[in-house]
């Protein structure tokens, strides 16, 4: 397969992949699956085929049948009990997003992001609602959502780049999966940089590749952006010109971006005409979706909690 087409094909296959139920809650979301299923081993062959009258022939023992290795089940995406560090250890950004958003999907949260919407729409227990009441979430759910975000925020840029490079190698070897494609995009959005080389020709979102903000955005570019994403993107326009932020959440968001260089002398005059038009478009869409969100609203949207 031609390498240049690797990621577009993966992204095209994502729709089919996300329709397969992953290790989310069972028929009711309260089910919690833990542990691994024990593999059944084959019985050891007994006896031999030697005839009794051939006494001089040495007996040859049949070697015991090799036991099938135990296959560990995938870890659950939802827990009714408080999460432990082991529950989150070595989870990918994609898995953490699914865990975090499963908490909110259980009360009917809708999702604008295509891959999340497709995943949860495939779950038999999912019942999306036009309005959800976050007060119905248990204290355990809220604390678990916060712990998931804390864990994700603690993943260093160096580790994320290692994961990204590993996925790039799989893409070049034509071994990447649709899940890898989602993970690659999540890492790019988290780092604010796209390092796919010349092998990737798929058009990137401006969160994954902030350099795209040098051109005018279209509504199609923002078609699956949540209010959380729109707020980050709008402030990315300012951050690229060096603006500093009072919001703790935005400080965390842009503090880990390699390209972010806050300026003491920042002035709105540093914004270009393209910057201003993009800001107006983003604000217009935010208003259409119910209005821009503050730090507190940002915490609730799609389960986002700024725990770090």
Indicate if 207-308 has the same CATH topology as 1-24+81-202: yes
More confident residue, 97 or 38: 97
Query: How confident is the model at residue 293, as a pLDDT?
Result: 75
More confident residue, 197 or 102: 102
Residue labelled with tokens 């999966």: 177
Query: How confident is the model at residue 155, as a pLDDT?
Result: 93
Query: How confident is the model at residue 59, as a pLDDT?
Result: 53
Side-chain half-sphere exposure of 42, counting CA atoms within 13 A: 10
pLDDT tens-digit series, residues 35-61:
333 334 344 434 444 444 444 555 545
Reduced to 3 states (helix: H, G, I; strand: E, B; else coil), residue 228 is: helix
**Residue 185 clears pLDDT 70, i.e. is over it:** yes
**Cα separation of 58 and 51, whole Å?**
12
Reduced to 3 states (helix: H, G, I; strand: E, B; else coil), residue 90 is: coil
Q: How large is the angle between the packed helices 157-172 and 6-18, nearest 10 degrees?
A: 100
Average pLDDT, the chain: 77
Query: Which of 183, 194, 221 is CA-nearest to residue 97?
Result: 183
CATH second-level architecture of 1-24+81-202? Answer: Up-down Bundle (1.20)
DSSP state letter for 55: T
Instruction: Break the chain into its structural domains and give their ranges.
Output: 1-24+81-202, 207-308
pTM score of the predicted model: 0.67
pLDDT band at residue 67, thresholds of 50, 70 and 90?
low
Q: Which CATH number fits domain 207-308: 3.30.1490.190, 3.40.50.2020, 1.20.58.1690, 1.10.150.130?
A: 1.20.58.1690
Mean pLDDT of 199-205: 63
Query: How confident is the model at residue 150, as a pLDDT?
Result: 87
Q: What share of the chain is helix, strand, coil (3-state, %, to 5)?
A: 50, 0, 50
């Amino acid at each position: 397969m031609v390498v240049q087409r690797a990621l577009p094909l993966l992204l095209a296959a994502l729709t089919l992949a996300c329709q397969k139920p992953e290790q989310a809650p069972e028929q009711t979301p309260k089910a919690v699956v833990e542990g691994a299923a024990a593999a059944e081993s084959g019985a050891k062959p007994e006896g031999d085929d030697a005839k009794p009258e051939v006494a001089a022939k040495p007996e040859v023992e049949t070697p015991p049948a090799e036991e099938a290795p135990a296959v560990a089940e995938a870890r659950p995406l939802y827990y009714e009990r408080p999460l432990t560090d082991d529950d989150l250890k070595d989870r990918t950004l994609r898995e953490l997003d699914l865990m975090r958003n499963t908490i909110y999907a259980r009360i009917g949260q809708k999702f604008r992001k295509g891959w999340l919407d497709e995943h949860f729409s495939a779950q038999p227990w999912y019942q999306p609602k036009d309005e959800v009441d976050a007060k119905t979430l248990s204290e355990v759910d809220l604390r678990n959502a916060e712990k998931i975000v804390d864990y994700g925020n603690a993943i260093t840029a160096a580790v994320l780049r290692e994961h990204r490079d590993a996925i790039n190698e799989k893409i070049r070897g034509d071994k990447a999966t649709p899940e890898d494609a989602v993970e690659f995009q999540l890492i790019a959005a988290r780092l604010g940089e796209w390092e796919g080389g010349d092998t990737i020709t798929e058009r990137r979102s401006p969160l994954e590749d902030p350099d795209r903000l040098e051109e005018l955005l279209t509504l199609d570019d923002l078609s699956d952006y949540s209010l959380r994403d729109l707020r980050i993107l709008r402030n990315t326009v300012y951050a690229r010109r060096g603006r500093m932020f009072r919001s703790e959440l935005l400080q965390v968001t842009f503090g880990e971006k390699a390209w972010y260089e806050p300026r003491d002398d920042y002035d709105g005059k540093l914004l270009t005409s393209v910057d201003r038009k993009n800001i107006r478009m983003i604000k217009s869409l935010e208003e259409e979706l119910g209005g821009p969100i503050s730090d507190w609203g940002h915490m609730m949207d799609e389960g986002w909690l700024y725990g770090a």
